[in-house]
């Protein structure tokens, strides 16, 4: 039988412990509780946990300092930061200190359960994301070309609040997700030996995402497996092409990104893309 997964929850709010216990119960994961940063550190030093979930604001030691201390003493332990005090600085610090993920309160039980499952199931994760720049106006990352790493990057950047209505913020996050998945799957062929570059830039007028993959690029005029190439009278023609090629269902990424963002600009080679959303 597989070893039981153990999770340490560090939060000074007893209600959060109750909520997470309810989230974790169906999965058979064991949960321990600590109610302050020092207590959490003591428990993490005394026992090896598969995952630590920590709040940021706590008595004695905040969650980001706890993250740093755990990473120093138990570098293989994954840490998920969960807080109601979500700021760009907290998100950036979490990325820089190699948190596995970041969640804002109030949280969706299903989304948290999915992120916890991903954390518990992902091996050899420590160097998947390398921070090149980490200031609120310019975040640049070098990312291992595998889907688990791309999902983590998407989750981190989604948590940075920007001056857009909720629906538009979700639109640009969805567009970024589609293009990053394309970069990993088609540009790098999901080869974990390769790396891609991701940047998030915040200007006074817009939010920009930049993706550069290590692939040879492509021509937007020669994508029979993508919805972008479909004729108006045959809007699903690419589905049959993908079936014949043995490619998973999909192919709507570029078309969807163009619909959700204000501008989608590709380099001449096609392996670099700039995604832009202007403030309204």
Q: How far apart are alpha carbons 202 and 206 in whole angstroms?
A: 6
Q: Which region, left, alpha or beta, applies to residue 261 given φ > 0 means left and ψ of -120 to 50 means alpha?
A: beta
Q: Where does residue 258 rank: exposed (0-12), middle (13-18), buried (19+ CB within 10 A)?
A: middle
CA–CA distance from 248 to each of 216, 240, 244 (Å)?
21, 11, 10
Q: Are 103 and 111 in contact (CB under 8 A)?
A: yes
Q: Which domains does the chain have, with CATH numbers?
A: 1-123 (3.40.50.2300), 127-280 (3.30.565.10)
Whether 274 contacts 179, CB under 8 Å: no
CB of 198 within 8 A of CB of 210? yes
What is the per-residue DSSP string for 45-76? HHS--SEEEE-SS-SSS-HHHHHHHHHHH-TT
Residue 143 pairs with which residues in a beta bridge? 129, 196
Closest residue by Cα to residue 205 from 141, 137, 120: 137
pTM for the model: 0.80
d(CA 157, CA 159): 5
Query: Quick one: pLDDT at residue 84?
Result: 83
Predicted pLDDT of residue 123: 81
Edge-first strand listing for the sheet containing 195-202: 129-135, 138-144, 195-202, 206-212, 272-278, 263-266
Query: Looking at residue 33, what is its pLDDT?
Result: 96
| Each residue's pLDDT expressed in tens, for the chain with a length of 280 residues | 346 889 999 999 999 999 999 999 888 889 999 999 999 999 999 999 999 999 999 988 999 999 999 999 998 899 999 988 778 888 888 988 899 999 888 888 888 999 999 999 888 787 899 999 988 899 999 999 999 999 999 988 888 877 788 888 888 888 898 899 989 988 899 999 999 999 999 999 999 999 999 988 754 555 454 544 445 554 454 445 445 555 554 445 566 777 788 999 999 888 999 999 998 7
**What local confidence, expressed as pLDDT, does residue 230 receive?**
47
């Amino acid at each position: 039988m597989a070893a039981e997964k153990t999770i340490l929850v560090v939060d000074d709010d007893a209600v959060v412990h109750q909520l997470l216990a309810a989230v974790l119960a169906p999965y058979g994961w064991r949960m321990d509780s600590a109610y302050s940063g020092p207590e959490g550190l003591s428990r993490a030093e005394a026992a090896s946990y598969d995952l630590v979930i920590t709040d940021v604001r706590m008595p004695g030691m905040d969650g980001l300092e706890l993250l740093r201390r755990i990473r120093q003493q138990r570098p293989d332990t994954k840490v998920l930061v969960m807080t109601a005090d979500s700021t760009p600085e907290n998100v950036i610090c979490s990325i820089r200190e190699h948190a596995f993920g970041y969640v804002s309160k109030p949280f969706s039980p299903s989304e948290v359960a999915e992120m916890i499952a991903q954390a518990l199931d992902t091996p050899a994760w420590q160097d998947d994301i390398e921070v090149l720049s980490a200031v609120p106006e310019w975040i640049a990352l070098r990312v291992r070309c595998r889907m688990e790493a791309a999902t983590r990057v998407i989750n981190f950047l989604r948590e940075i609040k920007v001056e857009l209505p909720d629906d538009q913020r979700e639109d640009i996050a969805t567009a970024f997700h589609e293009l990053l998945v394309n970069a990993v799957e088609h540009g790098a062929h999901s080869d974990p030996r390769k790396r891609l570059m991701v940047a998030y830039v915040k200007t006074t007028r817009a939010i920009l995402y930049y993706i550069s993959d290590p692939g040879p690029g492509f021509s937007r005029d020669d994508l029979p497996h993508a919805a972008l190439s479909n004729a108006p009278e045959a809007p699903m023609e690419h589905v049959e092409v993908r079936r014949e090629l043995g490619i998973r269902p999909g192919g709507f990424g570029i078309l969807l990104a163009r619909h959700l963002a204000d501008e989608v600009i590709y380099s001449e080679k096609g392996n670099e893309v700039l995604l832009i959303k202007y403030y309204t």
